[in-house]
Amino acid sequence: MRHRDTSDNEEKEKDLNMAEMMQEESTPMPVSPKKDNQFALQPQECFLLRAKEKKEKTSKTKKRRKKKISDVLAKSEPKPGTPEDLQKLVMDQLSIKHSVIELEELKLPDSCFLPANDLSHSLSSYLKQLCPKWAKLRKNHKEKKSLIMLIICSSALRALELIRSMTAFKGDCKVLKLFAKHIKIQEQVKLLEKGVVHLGVGTPGRIKALIQQDVLNLNSLKYLVFDWNWRDQKLRRLMDIPEIRKEVLELLEMRLISLCRADSLKLGLF
């Protein structure tokens, strides 16, 4: 009997142990809330850092890229120049180095402007509109080292293009190329001194140099035309090019503004 009781007790203990083991396996292991939060935050922190770095890189890229004049002009529709455009430009630029009182003497009066090109004219038709008595003027012009009309453009190539396109207007008058490319200033001096020249087409830098050397006289000058609306390969107009704009303003200051104010010189914007 005793042996049987012992066997029964051992079987009960085995059953009890098995029940406890099954209970332990089914019960989930407790997880530390602190560790769980750390693991949960890590992906979020990584995402925020990456987003911040991406934003900083984008802002740096935007700051580095400068807006060019060609970007602005490419988005704008062709708009003909007006006298107000030139008047405002002259005042804005000259106000940097002149006092308010001095600026009053440098204003271009409205009366000195001729009708501007509305983009419908060729150069010949525009010049005929500005100067309907051109044939009479050129016939009466006898003074050497002087011109009746001056056309200012941005480059030598553009000057040649303008000369070719004014055939219907110029007739048999003498036209002088006033730019530096492939032409020495001494050659232009000889041509001005040798014979009568009616019309000059060129860049402001070379024209200014000839005036400073007292080779080009402005006494007979009646018309000054700016090649205002034409754009180069970079979509820049005459006054959009900093070095050209600077030379034009210096040229105007030399004597041309005073001639305009005296009503002896008329301005046109082609």
Q: What is the pLDDT of residues 83-92, one digit of tens each?
A: 999 999 999 9
Strand partners, 175: 199
CA–CA separation, 74 and 243 (whole Å): 21
- With vertex at residue 141, the alpha carbon angle to CA 132 and CA 144, rounded to the nearest 5 degrees, is 140
pLDDT of residue 67: 62
Q: Which domains does the chain have, with CATH numbers?
A: 80-269 (3.40.50)
Beta bridge partner(s), residue 177: 201
**What's the pLDDT tens digit per position in 109-139?**
999 999 999 999 999 999 999 999 999 999 9
Both tokens assigned to 252: 């105007």
Task: Give 97-148 as a 3 state SS string.
Answer: CCCHHHHHCCCCCHHHECCCCCCCCCHHHHHHHHCCCHHHHHHHCCCCCECC
**Residue 207 dihedral angles phi and psi, to the nearest 5°:** -60, -45
pLDDT, residue 20, reads 56
d(CA 71, CA 203): 25
Tokens of 98: 């002149």
**How far is the C-alpha of 147 from the C-alpha of 83, rounded, in Å?**
23
What is the per-residue DSSP string for 38-93?
Answer: HHHHHHHHHHHHHHHHHHHHHHHHHHHPPPPHHHHHHHSPP----HHHHHHHHHHH
Q: Which residues are CB-neighbours of 93 under 8 A, at least 6 positions away?
A: 245, 249
pLDDT of residue 79: 87
CA pair distance 94, 101, nearest whole angstrom: 12
Helix (H) or strand (E) holding 177: strand 175-178
Token couple for 125: 């038709």
Cβ neighbour number for residue 233 with a 10 Å cutoff: 6
| pLDDT of amino acid 164 | 96
Residues of the chain with pLDDT under 70: 1-76
Return the sign of the alpha-carbon dihedral for residues 100, 226, 203, 136.
Answer: negative
